[in-house]
Structure 1
């Protein structure tokens, strides 16, 4: 059973845990600042270098709310649309593909002791979301596993 969604996550109309086939929630403390994590997320063209599920991206414009890009994550090709872009605290994007669509939301908070708290949620729907609900949790955890390790006081 997935935890309740974080109240600080902003879901666009038509998306959210109550409107999906699969919901994933992760929290991660990192030694990197919220600025550094946001910069990594916003560099979509670099995702294939650090995200093992992403083979290729195509970015044709600077990221802003409403901008579009393509993400190839076999066997899927997604049309990505930025839904939220508030440096360095919020990044959200919708991925629309055949048999799987999802919205990923990232909430980043600087930790007073150093580093940042990263809250990641994904609501997905479609045949692939239904068939791979458990696998989505493992796959999305991979996004966080590439961040620096938790800050040790």
Structure 2
């Protein structure tokens, strides 16, 4: 059972995906020196994820609105962009072979930019296996997502995402 003591109280978890129900849970946060709208625009633009999200090499529009097929480290995931409350909240769920994930972002305006929180709940046999072999794998991914979001948001011209 992962440590869920740092779970952010303002994140909306869908049924079945609370941190307490996870095989892997992690969270990261940072201050991004750009407006929330800039960070949100980058996160919500799924077709551009391969350009900046570590491990994602391809995205394709799915058959329904707000659905995508995403290749992550060679594994195919069906992704649904769920919660989208611009420019404050974003959440998506993904299903792949032996794994289900829900990733939530919370973006809050602060002096000098945005306080960004990313949290992941991962479930399934593949998540259990990875957690046993490398307990910090999910935290490393969160740290990479956050570093890339910070870099791109802060370098965006006139506070525009991308």
Match of 2:49 among 47, 50, 53: 47
After superposition, the Cα gap between the structure-2 partners of 1:127 and 1:75, relative to the gap in structure 1 and judged at 3 Å, is: farther
How big is the alpha-carbon RMSD for the aligned residues of Structure 1 and Structure 2? 2.0
TM-score, normalization: structure 2?
A: 0.83
Contact map agreement 1:12 1:83 (CA 8 A) in 2: no
Aligned to 1:71: 70
User: 1:38 and 2:40 equivalent?
Assistant: yes
Deviation per residue, 1:33-92 (Å, 9 max, x gap): 1100000001100000011210100125896xxx21111002321100122010000000
Dislocated runs of 4+, deviation >2 Å? 1-4, 59-63
Aligned to 2:120: 122
User: 1:141 and 2:143 equivalent?
Assistant: yes
Contact map agreement 2:80 2:92 (CA 8 A) in 1: yes
Distance 2:34 2:94 in 1: 26
User: 1:59 and 2:61 equivalent?
Assistant: yes
Distance 2:64 2:142 in 1: 24
After superposition, the Cα gap between the structure-2 partners of 1:115 and 1:57, relative to the gap in structure 1 and judged at 3 Å, is: same
Distance 1:102 1:118 in 2: 19
Distance 1:61 1:40 in 2: 22
TM-score, normalization: structure 1?
A: 0.88
Q: 5+ unaligned residues in a row in structure 2: which ranges?
A: 155-162
Q: 5+ unaligned residues in a row in structure 1: which ranges?
A: none
1:95-106 aligned at under 5 Å gives the runs: 95-106=94-105
Deviation per residue, 1:82-134 (Å, 9 max, x gap): 220100000000001111110000000011x2210001100001122112232
